[in-house]
Amino acid sequence: MAGDQANKVQAVGVDTLAAPGGHYSHACVGAGLVFISGQLPITPNGVRLVDASFEVQTLQVLANVEAALLASGSNIQQLLQLRVYVDDIANWPLFNTLYAAWAGAARPARAVVPTGPLHFGLKLEVEAIALALPAP
């Protein structure tokens, strides 16, 4: 990015995700980086998957992260870091299996943090940082 563009922050709304539930954006892009807000297992039409299994919740969260990445001009291969918050560390092995299949060859830095109860009674939340792809 040249000149002033390098210092601009662009908020990104994602049409394929439920509207943010507070004063934040799905993602922000600046200085060649993409910051994805914490994604919960909420469907694009706003259904909170509270009663769904950990596996179903995980797959929804990862789909939400990918949608936010793509809308922000990035993708899974550009991921630098993920922070994963789980309500129970016993869910870590299943998360790791599902995540490895989703991430493929990408191996960003990652933290998995057990938190106890999460917002709305959901089982996990994932936030991410990635490189923005150069504009075509």
The answer to whether residue 50 scores a pLDDT higher than 70 is yes
Q: For residue range 37-46, what is the model confidence (pLDDT) as tens digits?
A: 999 999 999 9
Domains of the chain, by residue range, sit at: 37-131
Mean pLDDT in residue range 9-21: 88
pLDDT at 77: 97
Mean pLDDT in residue range 56-62: 98
Q: Which of 74, 59, 58 is nearest to 26 (CA)?
A: 74
End-to-end CA distance of the chain, in Å? 13
* 43, two tokens: 């469907």
Predicted TM-score of the model (pTM) = 0.92
Give the architecture (CATH level 2) of 37-131. Answer: 2-Layer Sandwich (3.30)
Task: Please give the DSSP secondary-structure letter assigned to residue 48.
Answer: B
Q: Which of 18, 34, 27, 25 is nearest to 122 (CA)?
A: 18
